[in-house]
Chain A
Amino acid sequence: NAGVTQTPKFQVLKTGQSMTLQCAQDMNHEYMSWYRQDPGMGLRLIHYSVGAGITDQGEVPNGYNVSRSTTEDFPLRLLSAAPSQTSVYFCASSYSEGANYGYTFGSGTRLTVV
């Protein structure tokens, strides 16, 4: 099924560990982004990409790295996990061509840092 696939769905990390959250889309969307959602809040943009090889920081980029080597994949790396990074992470892809557009979110990765 076409869409955005995030793995893993759940993860528990110890403080200081590193890990990569995977995100893949099969819709050939140019734009991809990572958000985090904390309880009682909306999503906040972590990093963003307008195409392969191009990334940019969002509102809350500290502690995270991204790369976009292909159109399909946009992994998010936590360098040294901290309890403050406990959150639900969503990856999204989108496109815009004239009057046509599309936005698709993945189902999320629930991360707990202990």
Chain B
Amino acid sequence: SQQGEEDPQALSIQEGENATMNCSYKTSINNLQWYRQNSGRGLVHLILIRSNEREKHSGRLRVTLDTSKKSSSLLITASRAADTASYFCATDSDSWGKLQFGAGTQVVVTP
């Protein structure tokens, strides 16, 4: 079973717009991470937010975490065509490095 579920499953936006995707999970976590995967490639780690943090920023990325609702959101501001990819949330609940992934959100950014 998968811990995380992303919403929406797919997102299509134009360059310059913001993209928001959400992740819900089932059990308590140590941290939650977001990854990007370009088509046919490996995963790239984007950002990690710990269970005692509520918001984190990295460049054009903003992540929030609400442990009471067991949910997180990833915001990509001023999107670019290069942001076209699948985005996955992953939770770390047991011990470091044992991640449980959601099914991902496919983001398409058109010029």
Contact = CB atoms under 8 A, between A and B. Distances in A.
B28 to A, nearest CB: 18
Interface size class, chain B: 20 to 34
Contacts of A103: 33, 45, 48, 97
A61 interface: no
Interface string B10-40: 0000000000000000000000010100000
Contacts of B99: 33, 35, 43, 45, 92
A101 B48 contact: yes
Interface in A59-114: 59, 90, 92, 94, 96, 101-108
A55 to B, nearest CB: 12
Contacts of A96: 96-97
Contacts, number: 63
Nearest to B86: A42
Interface of B: 1-2, 4, 33, 35, 41-45, 48, 88, 90, 95-104
Given A40-B103, A43-B90, 15 more contacts: A31-B96, A32-B97, A35-B99, A41-B2, A42-B103, A43-B43, A43-B88, A44-B2, A59-B100, A90-B42, A94-B97, A102-B45, A105-B42, A105-B44, A105-B45
